[in-house]
Amino acid sequence: MSLLIFVSLFPLIALIAMGYVLKKKIFVEESFWKGAEKVNYYIFFPAMLFLNLAFAEINANAIHQIMLVVGAAFAIALTVLYSIKAFNKTSPERFGVYVQSILRFNTYIGLAVVASLFQQKGMTLFAIILVFCIPMVNVFSVLALTSADQMKPLNVVISLFKNPLIMGCIVGGLFNVSGLTLWIGFEGFLKQLALCSLPLGLMCVGAALQFKGLSRDLFPITLNTLARMFIMPSLAFTLCYMFNIPKLETQIIVLFFALPTASSAYILTKVLGGDSRLMASIISIQTVVAALSLPIILFFIF
C-alpha cells in the first residue's frame, strides 16, 4: 500500500517541483504564470468541477455525513482560533492569516490525490465537500481579515456568487438533478478542458512558493503548519469515528483536512490588507511539508 501511495503522489509532487524550478530559472516570463492561474481558475477548473458533479450518482446520506463532520471540525477550529484571538488581542491582519492557514485547502492538490487513489466515486465525494466548503472558507477568511466597522455583508455575498469554482459546483449539481443531457461533442470539449486543469494548477502551486524571511515568524509558521497538517486531520478522523462515517467518506474527509492551505489565500490576504508576507511563507512551508505528511496520513487511513 505504501508503494501505491508513493507512486500516486510522485507525479503530483514532481509537477509542483517543476513549477517551482521553471519559475526560479525564469524559463518563461512572469506574465505566463499570472495568465495560467487566471485561465485555470476561470475556465479549466470550473469545467472539471462541473463534470464531476453533472454526471455523478450523488448519495443524499453521504452529503449529510460530510456536512456533519466538516461543519463540526470547522466549528471546533474557529472556537479555538477566536479564543486565542481574544486572549492575545491578535490584529485582523494576522488573525486572517491564521484562519486561512487552518481552514483553507489546496483544491488542486486535493483533486489530484483523490483522482489518483479514489477514482470517480472519491472525486464525487470531494466535489461535494467543495460545494459545501468553498463558500464557508471564503466567508470565514473575509470576516477574519476585516475589522467589524469595515464589514459589508452584501459585498461578501456578491463575491461568493462571482466565484467561478462555486458556480461550477452549483451548475454541475443543478444539471445533475435536471435530467438534461449534454451533446457528446460539447461533453468531449469540457473533458479536454478538465484534463488541462490539474497539471497546470499543480505547476502554478510550485511557481507560487516563496521562502524568503521565514526566520522572522518561525514560531507562528511552525505552529500553523503542525495544526493544519496533523491536528486537523486527526480531529477529522476522530469525528468520523464518533459519527460512524463509512470508510471511503472517512478517507476523503481526513484527506481534505490534511491538505496544505490554498495558494489563493495569498491574493485574498494582500487585497484585504493582511500580512501577505506571513501568508506566503505559511503557504510555502505547508506545501513542502505536505510532501511528507500526506503519505503518512494516507498510509494510516487506507
The tens digit of pLDDT for each residue in 233-283 reads 999 999 999 999 999 999 999 999 999 998 878 877 877 788 888 888 899
What per-residue confidence (pLDDT) applies to 38? Answer: 85
Q: What is the pLDDT of residues 126-159, one digit of tens each?
A: 988 887 888 788 778 878 887 655 556 666 666 6
Total structural domains in the chain? 1
Question: What pLDDT score does 302 carry?
Answer: 83
User: CA 20 from chain center: how many Å?
Assistant: 19
Residue 189 scores a pLDDT above 90: yes
Q: Which of 4, 3, 5 is nearest to 297 (CA)?
A: 5
What is the grid cell recorded at 209? 512558493
CA–CA separation, 152 and 163 (whole Å)? 17
Taking residue 253's Cβ as centre, other Cβ atoms within 10 Å add up to 25
Mean pLDDT of 192-212: 87
Q: Which three cell numbers stand for residue 195?
A: 484534463
- What stretches of the chain show up as alpha helix (H) in DSSP? 2-24, 30-39, 45-54, 60-88, 92-103, 107-117, 119-145, 153-161, 164-178, 184-207, 218-226, 232-242, 247-257, 265-271, 276-301
Section 89-113 average pLDDT: 90
Rg over CA atoms, the chain: 19
Helix (H, G, I), strand (E, B) or coil at 1: coil
Burial 106-126 (b: 16+ CB within 10 A, else e): bbbbbbbbbbbbbeeebbbbb
Domain range for 74: 2-301
C-alpha cell at 72: 463540526
pLDDT score, position 223: 92
Cα separation, 114 vs 120, whole angstroms: 9
Mean pLDDT of the chain: 86
List the CATH number of the domain containing 224. Answer: 1.20.1530.20
- In tens, the pLDDT along 12-48 reads 889 989 999 999 888 888 889 888 888 988 899 889 8
